Structure 1
């Protein structure tokens, strides 16, 4: 015989309260004593009660859905951030919807109209770059992750690019390296510029030539290696793991063992690059999942009527491996 579904009135009866009180306890609303809430929760757990999501939404005026709006089509940054977001939101039984704008302003506007019409509870905005971005204009709680909003009144969570680059250079200096070159991505990318400036400042007299700006690619890493070798460096700091892997490949081709002749550091701690590199890369971990968790926490607070204003900058950390320490 099929077992009938447990109803709210069943939970209320076991807990010795009204159905309305049971509903408030399970939805964490109303002015109830902690003893009453605990009694209702124990009754629900004992009976195996599963709330009706549709009824919950109707009674609260919420959809219990949050959107992650991203321009990162490959998922390189947005997927780890989304994992962090879901770590926080799933505990509150909120669903997360991923919307990829593909860097298309029209597509972004279309998504925003749809999300507002569907009544999502809030939006986390992210992408693949750290450059400041214009705010989105929607009547919903919004938190910006990785790339801050240009409006200082908005809630933004970013990473400390300069701190990460500083940690990499200090590590090389501590190993006794005295001629450090820096190879990074496009000069008009905020992350490349901030990492390069921190490398220059921290290396001081140990800096070997000017930073080289180019692409976020292994190809650029190989090309730039030929240029910096004219300066006879004993270490090369790179603005990304892709560049660093190209550097390591070219150094190996030219007979310069890493790290015995030249130590190499990356940036991102992207496993597909950092761990596949020969040797595995010492690199800066961006902490993207933690970034997602912090963004989701701020979004929940905003949904609850306690919005955060301003930029929250999270520290990032150096992960040491064989490209600087050897086998």
Structure 2
């Protein structure tokens, strides 16, 4: 019998190492190699370790498809998104991979781009790869059409996306709770004449946040009149323009809760241009904690963080349980956090306190 070293040297330089090569180099049968590498069968530990060492030296990589057929698992999942910019899908995917990494599961990211045909092509491709499960996400929480996995029984979970199917599991940030903590923070800093500048009113997130803000104000004996609740596009330019409308109608505004950090940045810039100091005259709170915008705004934005990384981690954990056979359904809303920065921070004076300070009281 030739030595293992001799057998390894006989392999062509560009040869794709096969299980036959490993068996020949280790001086064992193909069946023994399979058992050793898959942790199956009754083998001496010495034989198992020797085969593994030879496979490692030769650079042998098991065929994933063959392995998946053997184990009944591919140890991959699909992540389908319509968020082409990655604003929401990237932190979500980071959390998903944190949850799945310990289980040695890889994630295929597929960009559907709001194209139903393209999305179904991705689904078909993922199913052909025998993925263990699929997570569907997007760039808004409004209800979407459920994906079709045919009769494969592949577990599907929606994260930062939802469908109306009763047996679907959907994980969402708690938009109302996020608006509540933003409003309570402004009130805690003495602000009483609050305004809300946000995105299009047909978005579910916009509706949930505005209703929560009104409820908090009502609990404090305050209100949010229609002229102080302005809806427009999710754009910095809209925030900038809305400030002009707002101050013209109600120059006594002392706090603004914005529906996104982009809108908030436009608000802050417009206030500065008008000689209104933030937060001394008007405190501003954003939504999203998009750090590239929130931290770069001057002053830096206090904002609501939807905790998308944590939402992704929980989505990954729940999908693992579904792959293992657990049945789960319903809409689960996960709490947001408030990130306090300078636009409405711990050192912000309330209106009454400012007046006392100005008067030397």
Matched residue, 1:176: 190
Q: Write out aligned runs for 1:110-129 (5 A).
A: 110-129=121-140
Partner of residue 134 from structure 1, selected from 136, 145, 152: 145
Structure 2 length normalisation: TM-score?
Answer: 0.77
Matched residue, 1:314: 334
Q: Write out aligned runs for 1:154-303 (5 A).
A: 154-204=168-218, 205-210=221-226, 211-229=229-247, 230-231=249-250, 232-303=252-323
> 1:245: how far off?
0.6
Structure 1 length normalisation: TM-score?
Answer: 0.85
Residues 298 and 307 in structure 1, CA contact (< 8 A), matched pair in contact too: no
Residue correspondences, number: 311
C-alpha distance 293-320 of structure 1, shift in aligned 2 (>3 A)? same
CA distance in 1, matches of 2:214, 2:223: 6
Structure 2 unpaired stretches of 5+ = 12-16, 24-31, 349-361
Residues 180 and 206 in structure 1, CA contact (< 8 A), matched pair in contact too: no
SS at match of 2:187: helix
SS at match of 2:102: helix
CA distance in 2, matches of 1:207, 1:274: 27
Structure 1 unpaired stretches of 5+ = 10-17, 31-38
What is the RMSD of the two structures over their aligned residues, measured on CA atoms? Answer: 3.1
> 1:121: how far off?
1.4
Residue 143 (1) aligns with residue 167 (2):
no
CA distance in 1, matches of 2:254, 2:297: 19
SS at match of 2:147: coil
CA distance in 2, matches of 1:197, 1:178: 17
- Residues 290-326 of structure 1, C-alpha deviations (whole Å, 9 max, x = no match): 1111111111111111132212211111111100125
> 1:262: how far off?
0.2
> 1:134: how far off?
2.0
Residues 214 and 224 in structure 2, CA contact (< 8 A), matched pair in contact too: no
C-alpha distance 178-65 of structure 1, shift in aligned 2 (>3 A)? same
Matched residue, 1:15: none
The range that moved more, 284-293 or 105-114, is 105-114
- State which structure, 1 or 2, has the greater radius of gyration over its C-alpha atoms: 2
Residues 122 and 299 in structure 1, CA contact (< 8 A), matched pair in contact too: yes
Matched residue, 1:52: 62
Residues 208 and 233 in structure 1, CA contact (< 8 A), matched pair in contact too: no
Residues 181 and 208 in structure 1, CA contact (< 8 A), matched pair in contact too: yes
Residues 240 and 266 in structure 2, CA contact (< 8 A), matched pair in contact too: yes
- Residues 265-309 of structure 1, C-alpha deviations (whole Å, 9 max, x = no match): 000000111111111111000111111111111111111111322
CA distance in 2, matches of 1:263, 1:85: 35
SS at match of 1:176: coil
CA distance in 1, matches of 2:81, 2:209: 23
C-alpha distance 51-88 of structure 1, shift in aligned 2 (>3 A)? farther
SS at match of 1:63: coil
